[in-house]
Amino acid sequence: MTRGAFIAFEGMDGSGKSTVMEKTMFELSGNGYSIRWTAEPTHQGTGKHIRDRLNAKWPPKGTMSDLAAAAVYTRLFFADRIEHNALDIQPNLSKRINIFTDRSYGSTVAYQSAQGYPIEKLAGEVEWLVGKSMIERPDLMVVLDVSVPTALARLAKTGKKPDKFEDPEFLPKLHEAYGNLPKYLPNDRIEFVDAERPLKEVVVDVCSRIRPLLVKKAA
Ligand code: TYD
């Protein structure tokens, strides 16, 4: 039996990812398709715990090396993802519900490698967990690509207090790390979308990539 389509939206903070995702869902829902929105970090359990740490910019300065901090975040994000997969993603995909996730393991490979964790270890863990059916490989990973100055300008416009990774020194490393994803995740279908363009154009482009993958509910 075919499962629903699993689509991951990826990109730097400030890429406009959440807005593009919302408009894309609006465009594609209906016509016999059922689409569920979800996100990582999740909003319960481990995910909520991660969000508290990010808001507090954990770890406190001088308490541990960048590598140690990246190692802790890596483990927390994978733990959240394994729970999310078992409790939410698998049960819904098996009901032929299409799932759009605001971030998945593409974020861990990009963000935690930009934090200094070895990218090949992150990619190796992804392959191992996928192989053991503990996390799901997306049918398509859409990376919303913007330049660092655009991301910074969009973040400044939100007026929100920046969290740990919304940092002008971190974003250039993150941009480079996203560019490395195809090399380190060769089994993934990763498509970069120019998200510098007007929102409408970006949404039309993203919809045209996703539409052929969607699965209809059984009659
Ligand atoms: P974000 O998508 O910005 O959540 P929200 O829009 O609800 O605030 O995710 C929170 C942060 O977590 C963001 O800076 C990216 C980071 N992150 C990682 O570093 N690794 C990961 O594996 C994931 C899923 C997110």
> Which CATH number do you get for residue 64?
3.40.50.300
Q: How far is the CA of 55 from the centre of ligand 1 (A)?
A: 11
Q: How far is the CA of 218 from the centre of ligand 1 (A)?
A: 34
Q: How far is the CA of 31 from the centre of ligand 1 (A)?
A: 31
Q: Which domain holds residue 154?
A: 6-213
Q: Is 103 in the pocket of ligand 1 (CB under 6 A)?
A: yes
**Ligand 1 atom closest to Cα of 115?**
19
**Ligand 1 atom closest to Cα of 41?**
24
CA distance 154 to 152: 5
| pLDDT of the residue at 219 | 59
Read off the tokens for 98.
């299409």
pTM of the shown model:
0.97
The residue whose CA has the least distance to atom 12 of ligand 1 is 41
pLDDT in tens, 149-180: 999 999 999 988 888 999 999 999 999 999 99
Q: Is 6 in the pocket of ligand 1 (CB under 6 A)?
A: no
Residue 1 domain-assigned (yes or no): no
Q: What is the number of structural domains in the chain?
A: 1
Q: What is the pLDDT along the chain (219 residues), one digit of tens a residue?
A: 699 999 999 999 999 999 999 999 999 998 889 999 999 999 999 999 999 999 999 999 999 999 999 999 999 999 999 999 999 999 999 999 999 999 999 999 999 999 999 999 999 999 999 999 999 999 999 999 999 999 999 999 998 888 899 999 999 999 999 999 999 999 999 999 999 999 999 999 999 999 999 999 875
